[in-house]
Structure formats: structure tokens, C-alpha cells
């Protein structure tokens, strides 16, 4: 093809392929270097790989990445269009091309007017929804919004799944220390009847309020659970006419929520430019606002905003989310790392790994690029983890001595000023110790069973405290890491078509299970067929 006939898209793709090839080449030769030797050789290493980002301090210096390789990584980010992607996201452009939508969650926490690329200023709708959330949640919190029989609301059942649940669930648990003392928030996501059975323990219909959160208002689990809770409320003595006092809805499909029976005054809209896993900052955060109150919710938004500002303005060399993404890319190419463990040294952050699983794996678990062409490089790592110190007594064995390298993100919380409690000191000491042990290993012993090879990479993220502000910052950091990695891999981080197939198959199998007289399709695989037959016999 002659140079004149090369389209801009082709040039972009070619530049990306070339820089990816260069990166793979470099990473193959460098992957074995010693991190301790890098520290000795590179006096500026710690400073160059440490980042302040709002209330977060991020240390990437214990990654197996020589400073000299940063140039190749930055060149790749440039060729892949990282900067353009970032600008397009903040400009409200249609970056989610397969769904023809913007991914404009930054507008939900902005302090300045934000306009979609088509010229629509979203600020009024964001402000109006936030204001309505504030008024409604305050009325519930201070007891002005009561149940049908006049009882004060004491229990909220937050019904939703995936992105409509994981963020508020994580944040309610993380921020429990600043939650309303007389309002309990219960999350109901799973369709398994035992989930509802355990949530409903001790609940009284008259003092219970359900919030149904579903962008599409068509997710099978959510609609089934909402229907179950509605029946339970009626069985508990709430008349059908009074039901709207016990329901709120958060959705981009108000028509469906109204048809379900949610009152217009308790209906909170969700814009189509907010993706489920990026939606904690929208009306999806309503259960959290009920728990922690409006000032604390504003603090959460402010924490995320501080990171947005950093991400939008910092050059790549000092841009913490972009650097996290580059490290992730490097580890997958240089070390063949297929997973990233997230270990919060805080029991309150127990749900963080689950939240980050959806954020990163639903976003980047793709095998075609933005143009639909198959990729020949690894995309999303498997995200997993448990809080330290529990995890140390479980899978850390494999982190220290397993044959595969699993990079770790250690999440630690700085203690309040003043003397440390004994337990608090032990918790911090363990987090620091594990990162150091992974780095140094133990090669002194002659016993191969006891030997720890060390040189295992980790990142440490230190929060200045566990507050709404620092939590908002932490989650925004990972959001931007995820999007950055998507641009560096040239994939769309904002769609999730892969989850649809399972939903369709489940519908078909559900029908077959419900009606044993239906013949099983001739082309059904022998394994599924045998299992359905077995279940039908029971
Ligand atoms: O099935 C995946 C998914 O669509 C997620 O992307 C989303 O967060 C979740 O289901 C819930 O969807 P909804 O808010 O429409 O109920």
C-alpha cells in the first residue's frame, strides 16, 4: 500500500503495533533483573516511582521495572493514544464505541460545568439528581420519611447486582464508622433465596425501605429480588396502595420502575453515559448517602475529584493512574503475570477486591481491539485478594514460593496521630513486612523447601486515613488505571458484551428446568443434558 493511501486509523494501528512489538522485545530481555540491584544502581529510583495523588501515596519502586525502560513504556502510551483517550473522556466524547456512548463518570463529581461532546451540558441534571438524593436521604435519616404505618425507617434493603451494588456495598462497609447509628443497610444481590433469607432476619416490613438499583431495570436477579421483597412487604401488612412509601428506584429506565410501582418522587435517574461499574458517584450511591449522610458523600466525591484533576493534568511520568496501568502492562509482558492480587491491610476494605474485580475485569477482559480485530497480547489480569493479615495464613505461601509470579497491590491505611495500638502496629508491620519479604526473599538457607526466591514485585498504596475522601480517591485512582490500561491495550474498557451470552443461555435453561415436559434440544451438549436430566429427576 502506498503512503498516500494509508488512512489515519491504519497509521494509528500501525504505530500501536510497532510500539507494542518494541515493548515486548524489551520486556523479554529485562524481566529477570533484580529489584534490589535496581535500587542499588538507581539512586533516584524511589523518588521517580513514588507518587502523591490527593490523600494517596503510591510506591511503585518495588516493581521489577528498570527506570531505563520507562522511555519505551511512555513511547508506547503515546503511540497507543493514551493522552487522546484521556482528553476524549473528559470532553464527553463517545469513547464507548460499541454502545455509542460517552463514559463521562467524571462529570458526576466535577466542580465545574461539564459538557458532552454533542454540546449537552450535563451539570444541571447531575446537580438536580444530587439535590433530590440529599433531600430524600435526609428525610429518611432524620425520620421525616416514615413507613406506611408511621414507623421510623430502620432498615434499608439495597437491591441490585454488579455495578449497581458492589460500589455502595464496599463503601458502606469501609465507612461504617461514620454511618448513621440507627439505620442498617443490607445488600441483596444474589438470586439465591438464601441471600434474601439471611437479609430479612430481624426485619419488620413497617420499618423497612427497599432501594432497587438497576440501570436497565431488566436484570433478572434484581427484578426477581425486588418482586420477592414487594411480596414480603405486602405479607408484612403494607397495603399495595402504601407500597410506594417503602420503595425507591435508581435507573435509566424510569418507565419500567414506575410500572413496577416506584413513586415518581422516589425515582432517581441514571444517565446512559454512566457505566455500571463507574457509577458509585451517581444515584447508585443512594444507599451510601443514606448510611453516611450528605456531607460525607460530598467528601467522597471531593476525593475522587482530586484524583480526576491529577489524572487530567499530570504528565505521564508523574501520572499515578497511568503509571499503575503501565506497570500492569509491563508485568503481563515481562513476567507473564496473569493475575494481580489486591491485599487491603484493613478489614473494613474487605470488599475492595470484589469491587476491583468487576471494575478491571469487566472493563478490560476483552480479546478484540477497538476496531474489532483480534488482539495477540494479554489484556485483563485476573484480580483477586483478601484482607491482610488473614490472607497471609492462606494463599501467601504461593505468593512467596509458587512458580508463577503474582504481583501484589498492598493497600495500607496510615494510623491517626498519637500512640499506635498494639493491634494497629501489628497490622501495619505485617503489611510492610510482606512487601519486604516478597522483595528480599530468603536465600540464606540451604534447604530448598525453606528457600524464598524473593524479587517478587509489589505496589504499596498508603491512604492518609480511611475516610470518605480517601476512599473516593482510591476508587477513582483504580478507575483511571483501568481506563488508561484500556487505551494502552487499544481496547474499549467501557462495554461488557461478554456477560450477555450467559444471561441468554440461563433463560433458556431456566425454562427447561421449570417445565420437565419440554424436550431437551437435540444439539445440547452431553454434559448440560445429563445435569438437567439429573436435576429433573429430583
Ligand atoms: O451483567 C453485567 C451488568 O450489566 C453489569 O455491567 C452491571 O453493572 C450489572 O449487570 C447490573 O446491571 P443493571 O444495573 O442494569 O441491573
CA 497–ligand 1 middle distance (angstroms): 11
533: buried, middle or exposed (CB in 10 Å: 19+, 13-18, 0-12)? Answer: exposed
CB 162 within 8 A of CB 276: yes
Q: What angle do CA 471, 476, 482 make, to 5 degrees?
A: 130
Question: pLDDT confidence of 8, banded at 50, 70, 90?
Answer: low
CA 279–ligand 1 middle distance (angstroms): 11
Average pLDDT over residues 210-238: 98
Where is 157: in which H helix or E strand?
strand 155-159
Q: What is the pTM of this model?
A: 0.97
In the three-class reduction of DSSP (H, G, I as helix; E, B as strand; rest coil), residue 26 is classed as helix
Ligand 1 atom 8 nearest Cα: 163
In sequence order, the 6+-apart residues with CB closer than 8 A to the CB of 444 are none
Ligand 1 atom 3 nearest Cα: 162
The closest-lying atom of ligand 1 relative to the alpha carbon of residue 284 is 14
Determine the Cα–Cα distance for residues 303 and 206; give it in Å rounded to an integer. Answer: 36
The closest-lying atom of ligand 1 relative to the alpha carbon of residue 500 is 1
Q: Quick: pLDDT tens for 182-192.
A: 999 999 999 99
Pocket test for ligand 1, best of 163, 221, 358 (most atoms within 8 A of CB): 163
| Mean pLDDT computed over every residue of the chain | 96
Question: pLDDT confidence of 538, banded at 50, 70, 90?
Answer: confident
Question: pLDDT confidence of 4, banded at 50, 70, 90?
Answer: very low
Q: Quick: pLDDT tens for 39-84.
A: 999 999 999 999 999 999 999 999 999 999 999 999 999 999 999 9
Question: pLDDT confidence of 28, banded at 50, 70, 90?
Answer: confident
Average pLDDT over residues 246-251: 98
Ligand 1 atom 6 nearest Cα: 276
Determine the Cα–Cα distance for residues 485 and 379; give it in Å rounded to an integer. Answer: 9
CA 216–ligand 1 middle distance (angstroms): 8
- Ligand 1 neighbours, Cβ below 6 Å, are 161-164, 214-216, 219, 222, 276-277, 362, 496, 499
pLDDT for position 323: 98
Rg (CA), the chain: 25
Average pLDDT over residues 102-115: 98
CA 215–ligand 1 middle distance (angstroms): 7
pLDDT for position 7: 54
Determine the Cα–Cα distance for residues 88 and 402; give it in Å rounded to an integer. Answer: 42
CA 529–ligand 1 middle distance (angstroms): 29
In sequence order, the 6+-apart residues with CB closer than 8 A to the CB of 179 are 172, 185, 291, 292
Question: pLDDT confidence of 1, banded at 50, 70, 90?
Answer: very low
Ligand 1 atom 16 nearest Cα: 214
**What residues are labeled active site?**
362, 393, 503
pLDDT for position 3: 39
Q: What angle do CA 57, 60, 65 make, to 5 degrees?
A: 165
Determine the Cα–Cα distance for residues 24 and 408; give it in Å rounded to an integer. Answer: 22
CA 341–ligand 1 middle distance (angstroms): 24
Q: Quick: pLDDT tens for 341-399.
A: 999 999 999 999 999 999 999 999 999 999 999 999 999 899 999 999 999 999 999 99
Q: What percent of the chain has pLDDT over 70?
A: 98
Q: Does residue 10 register a pLDDT over 90?
A: no
CB 166 within 8 A of CB 351: yes
CA 163–ligand 1 middle distance (angstroms): 6
In the three-class reduction of DSSP (H, G, I as helix; E, B as strand; rest coil), residue 344 is classed as strand
Pocket test for ligand 1, best of 162, 170, 506 (most atoms within 8 A of CB): 162
Match 441483596 to its residue by C-alpha cell.
Answer: 188
Ligand 1 atom 9 nearest Cα: 162
CA 220–ligand 1 middle distance (angstroms): 10
Average pLDDT over residues 329-339: 96
How many of the other CB atoms lie within 10 Å of CB of 316?
A: 18
Ligand 1 atom 2 nearest Cα: 499
Pocket test for ligand 1, best of 161, 191, 287 (most atoms within 8 A of CB): 161
Question: pLDDT confidence of 228, banded at 50, 70, 90?
Answer: very high
Average pLDDT over residues 85-106: 97
Strands 50-53 and 56-59: what pairing?
antiparallel
In three state form, how does the secondary structure of 441-508 look?
CECCCCCCCCCECCCCCEEEEEECCCCHHHHHHHHHHHHHHHHHHHHHHCCCCCCCCHHHHHHHHHHH
Q: Quick: pLDDT tens for 408-466.
A: 999 999 999 999 999 999 999 999 999 999 999 998 899 999 999 999 999 999 999 99
Determine the Cα–Cα distance for residues 164 and 158; give it in Å rounded to an integer. Answer: 9
The closest-lying atom of ligand 1 relative to the alpha carbon of residue 161 is 11
Question: pLDDT confidence of 207, banded at 50, 70, 90?
Answer: very high
The closest-lying atom of ligand 1 relative to the alpha carbon of residue 213 is 14
Q: Quick: pLDDT tens for 286-328.
A: 999 999 999 999 999 999 999 999 999 999 999 999 999 999 9
Pocket test for ligand 1, best of 282, 496, 504 (most atoms within 8 A of CB): 496
Q: What percent of the chain has pLDDT over 90?
A: 96
Question: Phi/psi of residue 102, each to 5°?
Answer: -80, 165
Q: Helix 468-489 and helix 70-80: axis angle, to 10°?
A: 80
- Report H helices in 285-392: 286-292, 294-313, 320-334, 352-357, 363-364
Amino acid at each position: 500500500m502506498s503512503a498516500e493511501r494509508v488512512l489515519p486509523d491504519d497509521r494509528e494501528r500501525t504505530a500501536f503495533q510497532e510500539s507494542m512489538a518494541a515493548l515486548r522485545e524489551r520486556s523479554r530481555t529485562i524481566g529477570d533483573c533484580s529489584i534490589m540491584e535496581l535500587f542499588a544502581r538507581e539512586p533516584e529510583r524511589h523518588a521517580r516511582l513514588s507518587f502523591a495523588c490527593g490523600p494517596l501515596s503510591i510506591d511503585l519502586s518495588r516493581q521489577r521495572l528498570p527506570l531505563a525502560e520507562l522511555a519505551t513504556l511512555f513511547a508506547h502510551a503515546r503511540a497507543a493514544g493514551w493522552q487522546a483517550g484521556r482528553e476524549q473522556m473528559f470532553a464527553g466524547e463517545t469513547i464507548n464505541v460499541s454502545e455509542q456512548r460517552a463514559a463521562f463518570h467524571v462529570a458526576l463529581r466535577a466542580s465545574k460545568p461539564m459538557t458532552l461532546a454533542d454540546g449537552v451540558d450535563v451539570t444541571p441534571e447531575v446537580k438536580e439528581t444530587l439535590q433530590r438524593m440529599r433531600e430524600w436521604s435526609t428525610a429518611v435519616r432524620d425520620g421525616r420519611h416514615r413507613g406506611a404505618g408511621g414507623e421510623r425507617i430502620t432498615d434499608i434493603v439495597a437491591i441490585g447486582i454488579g455495578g449497581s451494588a458492589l460500589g455502595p456495598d464496599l463503601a458502606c462497609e469501609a465507612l461504617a464508622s461514620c454511618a448513621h447509628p440507627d439505620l442498617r443497610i443490607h445488600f441483596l444481590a444474589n438470586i439465591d433465596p438464601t441471600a434474601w433469607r439471611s437479609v430479612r432476619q430481624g426485619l419488620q416490613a413497617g420499618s423497612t425501605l427497599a432501594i432497587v438499583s438497576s440501570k436497565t431495570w431488566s436484570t433478572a436477579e434484581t427484578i426477581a429480588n425486588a418482586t420477592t421483597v414487594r411480596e414480603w412487604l405486602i405479607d408484612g401488612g403494607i397495603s399495595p396502595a402504601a407500597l410506594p412509601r417503602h420503595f425507591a428506584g435508581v435507573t435509566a429506565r424510569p418507565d419500567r420502575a414506575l410500572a413496577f410501582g416506584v413513586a415518581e418522587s422516589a425515582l432517581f435517574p441514571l444517565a446512559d453515559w454512566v457505566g455500571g461499574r463507574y457509577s458509585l458517584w451517581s444515584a447508585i450511591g443512594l444507599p451510601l448517602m443514606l448510611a453516611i449522610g450528605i456531607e460525607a458523600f460530598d467528601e467522597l466525591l471531593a476525593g475522587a475529584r482530586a484524583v480526576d484533576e491529577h489524572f487530567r493534568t499530570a504528565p505521564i511520568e508523574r501520572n499515578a493512574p497511568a503509571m499503575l496501568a503501565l506497570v500492569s502492562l509491563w508485568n503481563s509482558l515481562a513476567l507473564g503475570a496473569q493475575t494481580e492480587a489486591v491485599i487491603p491491610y484493613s478489614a473494613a476494605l474487605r470488599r475492595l477486591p470484589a469491587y476491583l474485580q468487576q471494575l478491571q475485569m469487566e472493563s478490560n477482559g476483552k480479546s478484540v481491539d477497538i476496531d474489532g480485530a483480534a488482539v495477540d497480547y494479554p489484556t485483563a489480569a485476573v484480580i483477586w485478594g483478601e484482607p491482610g493479615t488473614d490472607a497471609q495464613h492462606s494463599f501467601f505461601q504461593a505468593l512467596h514460593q509458587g512458580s508463577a509470579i503474582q504481583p501484589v497491590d498492598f493497600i495500607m491505611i496510615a494510623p491517626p496521630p498519637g500512640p499506635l495500638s498494639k493491634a494497629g502496629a501489628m497490622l501495619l508491620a505485617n503489611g510492610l513486612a510482606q512487601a519486604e519479604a516478597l522483595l528480599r526473599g530468603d536465600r540464606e538457607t540451604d534447604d530448598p523447601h525453606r528457600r524464598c526466591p524473593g524479587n517478587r514485585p509489589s505496589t504499596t498504596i498508603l491512604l492518609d486515613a480511611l475516610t470518605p475522601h480517601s476512599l473516593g480517591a482510591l476508587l477513582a485512582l483504580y478507575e483511571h488505571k483501568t481506563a488508561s490500561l484500556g487505551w494502552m491495550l487499544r481496547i474499549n474498557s467501557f462495554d461488557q458484551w461478554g456477560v450477555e451470552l450467559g444471561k441468554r443461555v440461563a433463560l433458556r435453561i431456566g425454562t427447561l428446568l421449570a417445565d420437565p415436559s419440554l424436550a431437551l434440544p437435540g444439539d445440547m451438549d452431553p454434559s448440560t443434558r445429563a445435569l438437567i436430566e439429573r436435576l429433573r429427576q429430583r
